[in-house]
Amino acid sequence: MSASTGTDDKGFRIVTIPCLRDNYAFLIHDSTTNRTALIDAPEADPIETVLRARGWKLDAILLTHHHDDHIAAVPALLQNHKAQVYGAAADRHRLPPLDHALKGGDVFSLLGTPVEVIEVPGHTIGHIAFHLPELTAAFTGDSLMVMGCGRLFEGTAAQMYHSLTQLAALPPETLIHSGHEYTESNMRFALSILPDDPSLRARATKIAACRAEGSFTVPARLEKELATNPFLRAHEAQIARAIDMPDADPLRVFTRLRAMKDDF
């Protein structure tokens, strides 16, 4: 199963592809030129199935970070597609061979639309995100996730907090395409912090209904994340009070939230 957005007025379509147990890959297709890009490559077969069904070929593969469940399918895909591979310069030693090594602040053209590269360390040191302003879309991998954020495997809480602050500053209508379907478990954690929050409870009901019918919760609008995702609300007094840190600064609150989620 895959889910596709409608084609916008510039002829672009974004397709969400479930891979492995709970990963997502994303295709961006330009119907005007019939060119296609892939964001992350967890598993080749589901991606190839969608490509074949739609008659598309890959022209580019963009990688958010080095973990196998985001890059493992690159060699197999390159056997069938002459695609350029993009990834973080800082991580090129542990990514598939790159045609384009990127760093934060870079802007490049993908299928004729600009892509802004944002360094978002925390989950890994070399993690990057891709913001496509003309498509109102950001691909955040395992940094900002719907109703959560990635576990700190390599980076520090301070790095992740800074990364999330950068992503939170994107336009609120931006659709956040994160790398996993973790939303229900993330929501359960959020409700454990603020069980009576009406906005959380309302969104939890919608998420449960979405998953019950087999639909994806990814992507999600950034404005919804800003209102409900506890990791984007560490500056709010009610979050600090809820975890018994009423006088703590936002970074300390975030650090505590991330540790609590690890043990949840």
Binding residues for Zn(2+): 65, 67, 69-70, 123, 142, 180
Q: Count Cβ atoms below 10 Å from residue 192 Cβ, excluding itself.
A: 13
Angle at 19 (CA atoms; ends 62, 108), nearest 5 degrees: 10
Burial (CB count within 10 angstroms: exposed 0-12, middle 13-18, buried 19+), residue 203: buried
Q: Count Cβ atoms below 10 Å from residue 224 Cβ, excluding itself.
A: 16
Look-up of token digits 């998420």:
207
**Which phi and psi angles does 27 have, rounded to 5°?**
-105, 135
SS3 category, 96: coil
Q: Count Cβ atoms below 10 Å from residue 259 Cβ, excluding itself.
A: 12
Q: Residues annotated in the binding site, as ranges?
A: 65, 67, 69-70, 123, 142, 180
Measuring CA to CA, which residue among 53, 6, 22 is closest to residue 218? Answer: 22
Q: How far is CA 260 from CA 123, 176, 237, in A?
A: 16, 24, 18
- Report the run of H or E that residue 184 belongs to, with start and end: helix 183-193
| Cα-based torsion angle of the residue sequence 80, 85, 91, 97 in order, rounded to the nearest 10 degrees | 50
CA–centroid distance for 18 within its chain: 13
Look-up of token digits 């302003």:
133
Instruction: Give the N- to C-terminal CA distance of the chain in Å, as an integer.
Output: 30
